[in-house]
Amino acid sequence: MTDPTYALGRSDDEYARLTEQANFLRPLTERFFRKAGIAPGMKVLDVGSGVGDVAFLLAELVGLDGEVVGVDMDGAALEMARKRAEQLKLRNVEFLVGDIRTAALPGPFDAAVGRLVLLYCADPVAALARIATHVRPKGIVAFQEMELNEAGARATFGDSLLGKVARLSVERSRRLESASTCPASSAKRT
């Protein structure tokens, strides 16, 4: 099974878009991670780190006594993340290039987290199982993912034009959906 191609590409414009998206999602992500149990002093694995926005949020949450290790397959994005971490004077963050399913990591971790990454895995269940092997017993695995369904689109957008577009997108996605599916935002202790 092959992972889906990242349709938005890898460019400076895309990295800028990801940062804008991160700024928009930050309050939701912060609340999600706090509720999942991310706390000062933890060692956290950030899966699909990209240009580093989730890792930077985690660095704040774990504090100076904590540690964040970000992993991504996009070396150019991680180089940008390293430069940004340096500009922010973050000393508790490091970034590693690799595929989370095969990379050798400096674990165990107290938690493994990610935001909007499992949808790019051909088999998200297998990916989560592999990620969980890097987390200590009773640790945290928390992934903030998107789920589109007709009921959610109707509840969120009603009968507006955006609601109609969302419902059409859901229907189209349903037709294109492969056998693998990802759960919505979820946090689980391993």
pLDDT of residue 159: 77
CB-based burial label for 77 (10 Å; 0-12, 13-18, 19+): buried
Domain ranges of the chain: 12-147+182-189
Could you tell me the pLDDT band of residue 151, with boundaries at 50, 70 and 90?
Answer: confident
> Residue 53: what residue type?
D
Under CATH, to which class is 12-147+182-189 assigned? alpha beta
What is the rounded CA–CA span in Å between residue 52 and residue 42? 18
For the whole prediction, is pTM greater than 0.85? no
Could you tell me the pLDDT band of residue 186, with boundaries at 50, 70 and 90?
Answer: very low
pLDDT of residue 94: 97
pLDDT of residue 147: 67
DSSP string covering 129-181: HHHHTTEEEEEEEEEE-----HHHHHHHHTTSHHHHHHHHHHHHHHHH--S--
What is the rounded CA–CA span in Å between residue 150 and residue 52? 32
Average pLDDT over the chain, rounded to whole? 83
Helix H or strand E segment including 94: strand 93-97
- How confident is the model over 61-74, as pLDDT tens digits? 999 999 999 999 98
- How confident is the model over 83-98, as pLDDT tens digits? 999 999 999 999 999 9
Percentage of the residues of the chain whose pLDDT score is greater than 90? 47
